[in-house]
A and B are shown apart, each in its own frame.
Chain A
Amino acid sequence: MSMMTDVTPTRLDAIRLFRRKRLVTFGFPAVILAYFIYIFFAFDIPGLADRARMDNAKILVADSYSYKTHVTRDNRVGSLTIAVEGENKGTWPEGTSPDWVEIESPDRTRIELKNGEEVLIDGNTMRYDVPGYGLIEAEAGRRGIGLRLPEGEVPDWISASDTRVDITTAAGRVTLTRARIEVMRYHFGWELFWFTLDSPFYGKSPGDLIGLAFSDERLVAGKSNLAAMAHDVWTNRMWQHRDVIWAIFETILMAFLGTMGAGIVALPLAFAAARNFSPFMAVRAVVRRVFDFVRGVDALIWTIILARAFGPGPLTGALAILITDTGTFGKLFYEALENVDKREIEGVQSTGARPLQRYRFGVIPQITPVLLSQLLYYLESNTRSATIIGAITGGGIGLLLTQAMITQKDWEEVSYYIILILVMVMVMDTVSGWLRRRLITSDDGGH
């Protein structure tokens, strides 16, 4: 009988425990689900479909792996220009043309598109031969545009009005207005990535280039071919390799200066904040509040404040990282300092070491692994922060990225920068991980 009475409360406890556990296992997912439903409406996700511009996505994707060359005839002057992406710096020099453009006479140009399609610009007339459809003829006249199409219904890839004809096919695109006839052909790849059109090395195959690099025949007077090639790539106006490399360097520089600077500033302050090294409570409290304040203000606000004082550039970004991370490191370091083993310090003291030597041989070796590992970890993470901070203050690869995005047409450059940023962060990650393993495992006391 007495057994029964003993079991009952235990059983009740068990039931209560089960009930609580059941509540947690079902309640927790339910709360998360409810929150997502709230977010779904708070962020207006149903309306997203209307706002989303899938055509933008298409441009972005298409531009990232292909480019177009514009062949433009100015109907008023009668001149013809061929330019990559229609950009000034990608213009073919007068009298030269890619092999798919045949200039028969000053007024007659034959342009070969893909899939056997062909466009003939003859004076102010454009004849576009589409296999399987027929010949499209359009003339930019004084009073408007005359368009002659094959018999039958007008397909939806041709849009025409009195002032403008627009034909878009898989092979290319043709637009015709009274002022100009423009034919665009798409090509795979990134245009003029190594050499621009004004370079003597443009259009050479890799094999030819290697051959040229070792040959004595000089394409540019007074310079070896290799130096001339390097110079042409370095000063490529289309892709601006020099500026891009500098920007990557600036970003890494911001991260390096900021992280290491923060470590240097934070270490002595951490001693002042650690209970076992700083005897005055008031000093400890003040230093700790400073750390909290600096961390709480956040990199964004520091960046804004510093940008006002120092102007845009890598130094501002470095200082913003330095100030924010001083708070983070300060906290991490004083916690590490409070955990040091007293016996090691006493051991060093017993040999008659002076205070400074006690710190050097008793404390520093103990905290070096923590310190280095945190510094290197933050170096990697700050490389990413430096990209964002660069976009705000104006420096480094972050700035280039935002600028390329704002123009909304150089998407191939945007993809290039994105790839570079990813490579940069992953390299920093690998290097910092490697250094961390090397320094920390090989460090057996720091003597």
Chain B
Amino acid sequence: MSDLTAEQAGVGRVQDAYMAMTRRKRTYGAVMLIVFVALMVSGFRVADGRNAGGFWNGIGNIFQFPREVLTEAVAKVANLPGLMWKFLPSLIETVNIAAASTLLGALGAILLSLLATRGLAKWPRLIGLFRRLMDVLRAVPEIVIALVLIFILGGGPVPAMIAIAIHTAGALGKLFSEVNENASLKPVEGLQSVGATWGQRMWLGVIPQVAPNYLSYALLRFEINIRASAILGFVGSGGIGYDLKNAFSWGQGRYDEVAAIFLLLFGTIVFFDQISSHYRNKLIGEG
């Protein structure tokens, strides 16, 4: 009998401890929720206060601009195919900026990531340095480099390409080095035993192992870079973003152009999203 009561007491203690822990966790959760809600509400109020037009005034007008564009586009619907043809070269430039910068950035990322992976690095002591370098490259927003380069190199696609490539090198470098860490070192050691140089070891021993994952990440980045390249065009470099800005600042009368560019941009983004996700699924499936 005494055994049973002792056991019951023990269970009771465990239960009490468990309930206390649960209560504490719930309290923490509730406090965090309250803090979060307070942050959201006060943040919204501050943002609303510092905005030129308030939220509640603007919410009614939210469809006004789309409506204006749409009515004009519908009125001049016959122009649309011609306009889309007219802006096609800019669109190709935007896609080219994205593709070239993804390629350049990926090449840089491959090199950086190999130099920053333990076991593969050419100079193991500099691993930390290359990691920090990638962090810095990743942190630089494209617009900063693009604006500086526009000042030096003038407008056009090159500043945007370099700016996006730099960010891409950092962003992909981090992902690539995570992939590298899972690569088997056996082929590398085998190549080393027959006297292969560092470049040969990487090219023949590591790259074939990791290529599918690299490609899949690069495709995802390409998607992101198309958007970035369109935005940079709007801020000042070439491509379709620049045309959009011109048509947009002209205002009413050229909203058919705005509509044509919206359509082109939307179509392109969706198209490349689909292609890239299709191939990514295939690559990951293989891997």
Residue ranges of A at the interface with B (Cβ–Cβ < 8 Å): 32, 35-36, 39, 42-45, 48, 51-54, 56-57, 60, 250, 253-254, 256-257, 260-261, 292, 295-301, 304-306, 308-316, 318, 384, 387-388, 391-392, 394-395, 398, 401-402, 405, 408, 414, 418, 421-422, 425-426, 429, 447
Contact = CB atoms under 8 A, between A and B. Distances in A.
A359 B59 CA distance: 33
Contacts of B230: 298, 300
B265 A298 contact: yes
Given A57-B152, A309-B62, A292 B270 contact: yes
B273 A296 contact: yes
B269 A298 contact: yes
Given A43-B157, A309-B62, A314 B231 contact: no
B186 interface: no
B61 A296 contact: no
Given A300-B241, A312-B52, A402 B135 contact: no
Contacts of B123: none
B220 interface: no
B266 A384 contact: no
A311 B52 contact: yes
15 contacts: A35-B99, A35-B100, A36-B100, A43-B96, A43-B156, A43-B158, A57-B152, A260-B36, A305-B65, A309-B61, A310-B54, A315-B47, A392-B234, A395-B50, A425-B139
B254 interface: no
B31 interface: no
Contact of A48 (B40, B54, B99, B153): B153
B131 to A, nearest CB: 13
Contacts of B148: 60, 405, 414, 418
Interface string B39-55: 11001101110111111
Given A35-B99, A60-B152, A447-B25, A401 B143 contact: yes
B44 A257 contact: yes
A321 B158 CA distance: 27
Contacts of A51: 153-154, 156
Contacts of B156: 43-44, 51
Contacts of B265: 298, 300-301
B158 to A, nearest CB: 6
Given A295-B273, A318-B44, A391-B235, 16 more contacts: A32-B103, A43-B96, A43-B100, A48-B158, A52-B152, A53-B151, A253-B43, A298-B227, A298-B266, A301-B262, A305-B65, A314-B47, A384-B141, A392-B231, A421-B141, A422-B136
B96 A39 contact: yes
A310 B64 contact: no
B50 to A, nearest CB: 6
Given A306-B62, A313-B47, A388 B270 contact: no
A425 B141 contact: yes
A306 B52 CA distance: 12
Interface residues of B, number: 63
Nearest to B40: A260
A314 B50 contact: yes
A315 B139 contact: no
B66 A256 contact: no
B234 A253 contact: no
Given A298-B269, A313-B51, A391-B143, A308 B154 contact: no
A257 B43 contact: yes
A45 B154 CA distance: 12
B235 A402 contact: yes
Contacts of A301: 262, 265-266
Nearest to A32: B103
Contacts of B61: 308-309
B55 A310 contact: yes
A123 B93 CA distance: 59
A425 B137 CA distance: 11
Contacts of B25: 447
Nearest to B151: A56
A421 B65 CA distance: 32
B161 to A, nearest CB: 7
Nearest to B107: A32
A314 B227 contact: no
A297 B230 CA distance: 12
B124 to A, nearest CB: 24
B147 interface: yes
B185 interface: no
Nearest to B224: A381
B144 interface: yes
Contacts of A306: 58, 62
A176 to B, nearest CB: 30
A221 B152 CA distance: 49
B58 A310 contact: yes
B269 to A, nearest CB: 5
Contacts of B55: 310, 315
B192 interface: no
Contacts of A39: 96, 100
B246 interface: no
B198 interface: no
Given A257-B40, A257-B43, A401-B147, A299 B231 contact: yes
A10 B191 CA distance: 27
B232 to A, nearest CB: 8
A252 B51 CA distance: 15
B235 A401 contact: no
B142 interface: yes
Contact of A422 (B47, B139, B234): B139
Contact of A408 (B22, B140, B151, B244): B151
Contacts of B87: none
Contacts of B99: 35
Contacts of A414: 148
Contacts of A32: 103
A260 B39 CA distance: 10
A429 B137 CA distance: 13
Contact of A296 (B52, B158, B270): B270
B269 A296 contact: yes
A313 B52 CA distance: 6
A253 B40 CA distance: 9
Given A318-B47, A426-B139, A304 B152 contact: no
Interface string B244-275: 10001000000000000010011001100100
Counting from the closest, the 9 A-B pairs by CB-CB distance are A313-B51, A311-B52, A311-B53, A310-B58, A308-B65, A315-B51, A425-B139, A315-B47, A309-B58
